[in-house]
Amino acid sequence: MTRKICVVSSTRADYGLLRNVMGLIKRDEGLQLQVIATGTHMSPDYDLTYREIEGDGFDIDQKIEILLSSDTSVALTKSMGLALISFSEVIDKIKPDLILVLGDRFEILAVVIAAMMARMPIAHISGGEITEGAYDDAIRHSITKMSHLHFVGANEYYDRVVQLGEQPTNIFQVGGMGVDNISKMSLLDRNDLEKSLGIKFFEKNLLITYHPVTLEKSTSAEDMQELLQALSGLDSTRLIFTMPNADTDSRVLFDMIKDFATKHSNAVVYTSLGYLRYLSCIKYVDGVVGNSSSGLTEVPSFCKGTINVGDRQRGRLKAESVIDCATNKESILNAIKYLYSSDFQSSLSSVSNPYGNGGAAEKIVNVLKNHPLDSIVKKQLYDLNIVLNGTV
């Protein structure tokens, strides 16, 4: 009997990570792929990126618009409410056998709540990770507790999902999804990338992505100002900005980046590069700057440096290619100076990515196809206290 797997994507970034899994599901005769696009995929502000999913040959079963034209906490909470209402109806309509989600977006939390209430099996990718500077952390752990199958990126994250009370037999260490993509994608060469971006690379080039630090109040703009002040003196460096996520206070960061680019001819801004261009950019820049998870999970596979600004990613596993710095101009400039130092550059060739070497998609699809689903919805707490005391 064909098993229906419903994959939910809410951003261009998570689609980039899910794309290989979706392709394997689509090609497997024992599985039926269902796709739901929501979140920024449906927003003109983010280039209506659901079209990229369709352009890759995937049929979208449902397109769900939930984002309001505001980035306040009230607006995002209302968006979650819209998502909860919409997904409850969609799940009842398409009746998947299992829902597959990735990460820690607020939209995905609403999806999982709706699926849980429908007694629907849920598989979650990237549980057990830590990002102490963002509310993503609480969302991610909440999704873990409502999910039934868990695909984690490293042994440390496996242990944390066990610590959260999930059964070890339902947790699978598959490695990083981004690493998997890097090993499979044919990246653009320098000339094709420059044509696609409409720019020429300089002798020095940096890729910058900075997201709101959502657990702090009224600091995102201040932190961004410090970052931009540090970058403003790098006139001989090509600065390639990608825009922040649709989180609380993201719009003020949008405006600051756009204003910076109008005043600095070496800076260019892209709402979203798309996964192919983004990974290709990493290949040709000297390093990445900001607070995106990609700097920790994907960039080390290119043996390139990451300047990790502030606390948003505090708690994640980090390769030796990651340079942590505070959110002030002096600290950022010191980190950039260290990035270009001969000692640091010579150390990059031996960098090992803690998220593995690829193969995640095949491992995930194998579990989705073969793992019994009949009784996993009724969960039993894996109590570490009992286990460690020798009762179990």
Percent of the chain whose pLDDT exceeds 70: 96
Report, as an integer, the average pLDDT of 213-219: 61
pLDDT tens column, 316-375: 899 999 999 999 999 999 999 999 999 999 999 999 999 998 899 999 999 999 999 988
Q: Which residues pair with 239 in a beta bridge?
A: 206, 267
183 vs 204, more confident: 204
365 versus 69: the higher-pLDDT residue is 365
pLDDT at 346: 96
pLDDT given at position 158: 97
DSSP conformation class of 318: -
What's the pLDDT tens digit per position in 295-310? 999 999 999 999 999 9
| Token pair for 171 | 């947790």
Lowest mean pLDDT among 16-25, 69-78, 188-197, 311-320: 69-78
**Over pLDDT 90: what percentage of the chain?**
75
pLDDT at 217 over 70: no
d(CA 162, CA 217): 32
Q: What is the pLDDT, as a whole number, of residue 272?
A: 81
| Residue 215 pLDDT greater than 80, yes or no | no
DSSP 110-156: HHHHHHHHTT--EEEESTT---TTSTHHHHHHHHHHH-SEEEESSHH
Question: Which residue, among 27, 45, 35, has the nearest Cα to 10 in the 3D structure?
Answer: 35
Query: What pLDDT, in 10s, does the model give residues 41-58?
Result: 999 888 899 999 999 999
| Cα–Cα distance, 89 to 380 (Å, whole number) | 28
Q: Is the pLDDT of residue 71 over 80?
A: no
| pLDDT-derived band at 133, boundaries 50, 70, 90 | low
As a whole number of angstroms, the distance between CA 325 and CA 334 comes to: 8
pTM for the model stands at 0.88
Residue 137 banded pLDDT, cuts 50, 70, 90: confident
DSSP string, 192-208: HHHHHHT----SEEEEE
Backbone angles phi, psi at 177, to 5 degrees: -65, -40
Q: What pLDDT score was predicted for residue 390?
A: 65
Instruction: Please compute the mean of the pLDDT values over residues 238-248 and round it to a whole number.
Output: 85
Ordered DSSP codes for 52-100: HHHHTTPPPSEE-----S--SHHHHHHHHHHHHHHHHHHHHHH--SEEE
**Average pLDDT, integer, range 83-91:** 95
Report the mean per-residue pLDDT for the chain. Answer: 92
